[in-house]
Amino acid sequence: MKENLRLPILFFSLLMLSMACKKNDINSGCEEAFPAVAGFSIKEKVGNSYFIADTVFRQNSIVFETTQPYDSISWKIGNDPRTFDTSILKFNFNGILGTIDIILNAKAVPNQRCFSGDNRVYSGKKSLTIVEEFDKSSLTISPMVGRYKGGFIEIPNDTFSVTINYFDSSKYNPSFTGTKNFYWISNIPKNYQDLTSLEASYPELRNGMRPIMGYKGLEFGNLGDGKKGEGRAELKHDTLLIYYSNALTGRNTFIGKRQ
């Protein structure tokens, strides 16, 4: 009697094992697969640099870029009646202040082997805040303003402070500073000093230079100037990162904490 029971049990076990193997074959390679989404990044163009951003100065160009290829793309930018169909979209918000929605609708060939219910239509949305850099009636001061103590990671024992200031006074001559209200980055490189007539006219500016500003990123200097060098900086929480280059001393990275 026991022998008769063993055959059905053995057959059932082999059948279940076969079904499990087929299921594993079907789903093989899907363990690390993810369903497609409408993914994109928002970057603020500052000089020759691009910074990931959710808040930007309206004077700067903004770049929207998809994070993966799609068969078709449609962007909707705030209340703009137009739609755009390129994977990289450059946009200007000269006449807009406030928070708007950026919507990406996309289509792509789905991975139906791993995601049989995928309908190949995807949508993604992010909010972007546009603020004013110069107009005093509506401007927003960059959160980068402050004093940061740190050093180049290549020279960890040599600490110094870098400051980013916002100046606003009728005393400033735009022929020197560009506008009467402006940003200024000082002491990068360490002990930098302007030896032109700017030092005599405005002593508070002698240790720095005017950067090209983004809301949380900036660019400054000139690589061809061996004393000044050039750099790009970005603020991450309370930490300032400066990627600095000098034709004479090479490349260095400054990391400083807000004081």
50-84 residue pLDDT tens: 999 999 999 999 999 999 888 999 999 999 999 99
Q: What is the pLDDT of residue 62?
A: 98
N-to-C CA span, the chain: 85
2.60.40.790, 2.60.40.10, 2.40.128.520, 1.10.3720.10: CATH of 40-131: 2.60.40.10
* 232 within 8 A of 218, measured Cβ to Cβ: yes
Q: What is the pTM of this model?
A: 0.82
Q: What is the pLDDT of residue 115?
A: 64
Domain ranges of the chain: 40-131, 146-258
* 229 within 8 A of 250, measured Cβ to Cβ: no
Residue 54 CB partners (closer than 8 Å, separation 6+) = 42, 126, 127, 128, 129
Q: What is the pLDDT of residue 116?
A: 62
Helices H, strands E: what count in the chain?
A: 3, 17
Q: What is the pLDDT of residue 196?
A: 75
48/117: higher pLDDT: 48
Q: How does strand 121-131 pair with strand 55-57?
A: parallel
- CA distance readout (Å), 41 to 53, 62, 106, 185, 218: 8, 10, 14, 28, 19
CA separation for the pair 192, 163 (Å, rounded): 12
CA separation for the pair 15, 195 (Å, rounded): 86
Give the pLDDT confidence of 111-164 residue by residue, as tens digits.
Answer: 666 766 566 788 899 999 999 999 999 999 999 999 999 999 999 889 999 999
CA separation for the pair 136, 168 (Å, rounded): 9
* 217 within 8 A of 235, measured Cβ to Cβ: yes
The residue whose two tokens read 């951003």 is 53
For 84, which DSSP code?
Answer: B
Closest alpha carbon to 219 in 207, 204, 205, 209: 209
